[in-house]
Amino acid sequence: MYHGYITSTPNTRYDFLVVGAGVAGLRAAIELAEAGRVLVVAKDSLQESSSEYAQGGIAAALSDNDEVSLHESDTLAAGDGLCDREAVRALVGEGPAAIEKLMEWGTEFDREGARLVFAREGAHSRNRVLHAHGDSTGREISRALYRKAASLASVEVRSFAAVTDLLVAGGEVAGVVACDASTRHAVAIQAGAVLLATGGLGCVYAETTNPDVATGDGVATAWRAGAEISDLEFVQFHPTALYLEGAPRFLLSEALRGEGAHLRNAAGERFMRRYHALEELAPRDVVSRAIVAELRRTGAPCVHLDLTHFPPGFLGQRFPRIYETCRKYGLDLAVHPAPVHPAAHYAMGGVRTDLDGQTSLRGLFAAGEVACTGVHGANRLASNSLLEGVVFGARAGRAMRRWAGRPPAAEVHPPDLLFPVADGAELRRLAWEKCGILRSGEELAKLCGRLAATPWSPATPDRALHELRSRHIVARLIARCALARRESRGAHFRTDCPEKKPEFQKHSVVSIHHEEVAFI
């Protein structure tokens, strides 16, 4: 259990506080280092972040036959009419220089001789995706960024602490409350500016590729503090998560299909040609819905990803982490097709920000998956997420420098300690069934009503209770926004409203101050 609040002391006062030690958080911390004292807070450990698990790669228009304008058009097409063009231009325009900087800091991308190797993934018109060690791109980028951040005297990293709330004073964010695992107390940490880089929310769902720490804490804490949340109904479900009894829902990267892996149904038939002209390389939401349709048609629990036609030794060399993980659970991908099933993977929406990461609350910034810059629109283009973390983490860091020297808040009150009285497993099951890949207005309304009726009560909190609160808040926000969006667009599919509607070519916005979901 965590007990009480420790009063802020000089040791818990920083110029800048970065919540999250993935790619976005570390990149921001590096940018902030010259402007003041920086604390990076990692939930659980430095190895548990979505960045660490990112296999697919990082996209940028660096090859000789590619152009920034092509990367922009591919991103806009994937976003299904909801991308913010300025955000996309910032992403793809600053992407090449951002990659060069990563290599300058020691990131080792895969090469053939001296030349970088560029792969193609779903919905990309060119080979523009860089990988590191085959399928450990996020891990390699995180390694290089952490080494760079650790070399800077003004950057401090603390792990095994979970941030549970934002501290607000005079309508401005002035710090956070963190559950400190070593002291078993809740610590109030003040800062001149706070960056949320907390990653995703996949663990709101029963089926997810995300690490256990991805419980939507950033979105939930920002919402509780009064920040605007945008486009949260757009959750990307990765079509190919490993579906083996006793194994985690380990992601089988999109790059496997990019290299030529085939999806087969229970009868061994390739079925994607019935659903999309691009077959296995169709956008992720199309592939996920096609798999669900095939499962309903055949009654099978899963489909299979077939890689058995690849040359001997190729899988172990090109995808070493995937290959060895599957072997650990008794599956040799070179011999047997992998059973796969869709799982929650990535949130396009999140805490609403401008192009510099500034949220609707003064003093609060957000970057990476927790943020909604509008760059992904209704559906993220494959391998744009790591690039977003690098580009917008740097932009947020530069913008936060303006808050250097901000005096400490005179009086900060810790938030309430009320928690939902709910079963966590049941909550995740309901989220998966009612606001997963296929949705309907009737089921979403039932879920909204059920979550709204959940009783809340005071309790002595521990990390599990804080995470339950986060999942409950985020599940309700997803359901509310999905119910309000009476159309199908990108990753959001309503069986009762299967068409896109022009009046919904807008961003959803919700906050604790306004019960109704707005579209702007």
- 338-347 and 235-242 strand pairing: antiparallel
Beta bridge partners of 187: 6, 178
Distance CA(376)–CA(506), nearest Å, equals 13
Rounded to whole angstroms, the Cα distance separating 304 from 319 reads 18
Q: Residues with Cβ < 8 Å from 458, sequence gap 6 or more?
A: 416, 417, 418, 419
Q: Give residue 196's Cα distance to chain centre.
A: 12
Q: 323: left (phi > 0), else alpha (psi -120 to 50), else beta?
A: alpha
User: Does the annotation mark 284 as catalytic?
Assistant: yes
Say how many C-beta atoms besides its own lie within 10 A of residue 169's C-beta.
Answer: 16
* Residues 301/341, Cβ–Cβ less than 8 Å: yes
Cα(235)–Cα(290) distance, integer angstroms: 16
Amino acid sitting at position 460: T
Spatial separation of the C-alpha atoms in residues 517 and 332, rounded to whole Å: 48
128, 143, 257, 284: which one is catalytic?
Answer: 284
Rounded alpha-carbon distances, angstroms, from residue 261 to 253, 272, 298, 310, 453: 10, 12, 21, 8, 46
- How does DSSP assign 280-321, residue by residue? GGS-HHHHHHHHHHHHHHH--S-EEEE-TTSPTTHHHHHSHH
475: closest CA among 520, 425, 513, 516?
425
Q: Are 83 and 374 contacting, i.e. CB atoms less than 8 angstroms apart?
A: yes
Q: How far apart are CA 60 and CA 143, in angstroms?
A: 20
The residues, any chain, with a CB within 8 Å of residue 247's CB and separated by 6 or more, are 329
Distance CA 364, CA 226 (A): 11
Residue 334 class from Cβ within 10 Å (0-12 exposed, 13-18 middle, 19+ buried)?
Answer: middle
Apex CA 99: angle with CA 38 and CA 26, to 5°?
A: 20
Burial of 7 (0-12, 13-18, 19+ CB in 10 A): exposed
What are the residue numbers of the active site?
Answer: 284
